[in-house]
Amino acid sequence: MAINMKGKSLVSINDLSLEEINQIFELSASLKQKRLTGEKHPLLEGKKLGMIFAKPSTRTRVSFEVGIYELGGIGLYFGPNDLQLGRSENIHDTAKVLSRYLDGIMIRTFAHQDVVDLAHYAEIPVINGLTDLLHPCQVLTDLFTIKEKKGKLRGLKLAYLGDGNNMAHSLLHGCSKVGMDITIASPSNYKPDEQIIKNALENAAYMGSKIEIIEYPVEAVKDADVIYTDVWASMGQEAEAEERRKYFVKYQVNPELTAHAKDDYLFMHCLPAHRGDEVVDEVADSPNSVIFDEAENRLHVQKAIMALVM
Ligand code: CP
Ligand code: NVA
């Protein structure tokens, strides 16, 4: 039976049930098929999505904007200097005002609490398009992509190498929700957030899957079905890039490392990649790599999310 998600905000994958996640995947697959065959699917005819971007974006910006158009609605882009929010109008007032004009808001920003507050005060659904803490749309897409490629999620092992950042956090939430094992290998001073690990351990206990937070890359990728990495310095951390590199060099995903994974492992990266740092071309462009399928699937999965909540 369909679960009614209308009006629901997507701030964190941890707020979704497994049934809701599966519903998103089912609709994503059907919308992907319709787009392929050219069948129209105006599920959000005339609806308006506001898209607030305090940080740059290629994939999130273009996939949400194209997505809302393909669903029959329109998208309004707001860059860092476009709203009074950027000149310190508060989140409460912004949420109340935008709720009078729009049918949904997608936001990419720095402080996660700002998205929590926006979702709390808005009378329309708010979709998190990345914060310093989480990137739920990306990870829902990644899980959908793994399911497409491997035919299942439960029981697979994902190894994440590198910074304990927003991607690591949403992967911890996402993998543990769907019953995948996840091992995070990061330097001891760049481990994921304790509260997120706690959330993931609770989910994993329920699903009977495993969570490991370790330091050694080779141990992490051993028998992995999926190897995932992300940049060593995220948006807003550019000034730390050189300092961080010292800690992260041994986490580079290269053929020497991937040799320890299963032969049919998938290489994944949310992109943008810093080729030559966290991943080398031989891996990113290898037959195991699904990075551009992931990027494409952002469109299908976010269309499903918008259609369900708006
Ligand atoms: N993966 C991702 O969110 O990419 P953008 O920063 O280009 O949106
Ligand atoms: N961790 C990266 C992800 C980009 C999609 C960042 O926040 O910059």
d(CA 236, CA 114): 16
Please report, in angstroms and rounded to a whole number, the separation of the first and last CA atoms in the chain.
Answer: 19
d(CA 100, CA 90): 16
Q: Mean pLDDT over residues 75-85, rounded?
A: 96
- Given this model, what pLDDT does residue 92 score? 98
- Given this model, what pLDDT does residue 114 score? 98
Give me 63's structure tokens: 């996939």
Q: Is the pLDDT of residue 132 over 80?
A: yes
State whether the Cα torsion 11-13-17-23 is positive or negative: positive
Question: For a pocket test of ligand 2, which of 115, 131, 135, 170 has the largest count of ligand atoms closer than 8 A to its C-beta?
Answer: 135
**Dist. CA 153 → ligand 1 center (Å):** 23
Residue 256: burial class (beta carbons within 10 Å; 0-12, 13-18, 19+) = exposed
Of 137, 230, 300, 302, the active-site residue reads 230
Cα 21–Cα 27–Cα 31 angle in degrees, nearest 5:
140
Ligand 2 cavity residues, CB under 6 Å: 130, 165-167, 230-231, 234-235, 270
Q: How does residue 303 score in pLDDT terms, banded at 50, 70 and 90? A: very high
Q: How does residue 55 score in pLDDT terms, banded at 50, 70 and 90? A: very high
d(CA 208, CA 92): 40
| Ligand lying nearest the CA atom of residue 299 | 1
- Given this model, what pLDDT does residue 99 score? 98
Q: Is the pLDDT of residue 2 over 80?
A: yes
Q: For atom 7 of ligand 2, which residue has the closest CA?
A: 234
Tell me the one-letter amino acid at 3.
I
| Domains (range + CATH), the chain | 13-134+295-309 (3.40.50.1370), 138-291 (3.40.50.1370)
Q: How does residue 292 score in pLDDT terms, banded at 50, 70 and 90? A: very high
- Give yes or no: 270 in active site: yes
State whether the Cα torsion 167-184-20-202 is positive or negative: negative
Q: Residue 285 CB: number of other CB atoms within 10 A?
A: 13
Question: For a pocket test of ligand 1, which of 53, 55, 59, 110 has the largest count of ligand atoms closer than 8 A to its C-beta?
Answer: 59
**Dist. CA 208 → ligand 1 center (Å):** 31
Q: Mean pLDDT over residues 249-254, rounded?
A: 98
- Give yes or no: 112 in active site: no
- Give yes or no: 230 in active site: yes
- Given this model, what pLDDT does residue 291 score? 98
Lowest mean pLDDT among 50-59, 82-91, 196-205: 82-91
- Give yes or no: 298 in active site: yes
Q: How does residue 278 score in pLDDT terms, banded at 50, 70 and 90? A: very high
Of 59, 61, 108, 173, the active-site residue reads 108
Mean pLDDT of the chain: 98
pLDDT exceeding 90 applies to what percent of the chain?
99
Question: Which ligand 2 atom is nearest residue 237's CA?
Answer: 8
- Given this model, what pLDDT does residue 234 score? 98
Which is more confident, 86 or 253?
Answer: 253
- Give yes or no: 169 in active site: no
Q: Mean pLDDT over residues 134-143, rounded?
A: 99
Q: Is the pLDDT of residue 163 over 80?
A: yes
Kindly give, in sequence order, each residue whose CB lies less than 8 Å from that of residue 106, ignoring residues fewer than 6 positions away: 49, 50, 51, 52, 60, 64, 126, 127, 129
At 187, is the secondary structure helix, strand, or coil? coil
- Given this model, what pLDDT does residue 24 score? 98
Q: Is the pLDDT of residue 65 over 80?
A: yes
- What number of CA atoms fall less than 13 Å from residue 189's CA on the CB side? 7
d(CA 97, CA 116): 17
- Given this model, what pLDDT does residue 86 score? 83
Q: Mean pLDDT over residues 11-24, rounded?
A: 98
Q: Is the pLDDT of residue 284 over 80?
A: yes
- Given this model, what pLDDT does residue 42 score? 98
**Dist. CA 1 → ligand 1 center (Å):** 33
Q: How does residue 1 score in pLDDT terms, banded at 50, 70 and 90? A: confident
d(CA 216, CA 199): 23
**Dist. CA 235 → ligand 2 center (Å):** 6
Q: Mean pLDDT over residues 142-151, rounded?
A: 98
At 56, is the secondary structure helix, strand, or coil? coil
Q: How does residue 207 score in pLDDT terms, banded at 50, 70 and 90? A: very high
pTM surpassing 0.75?
yes
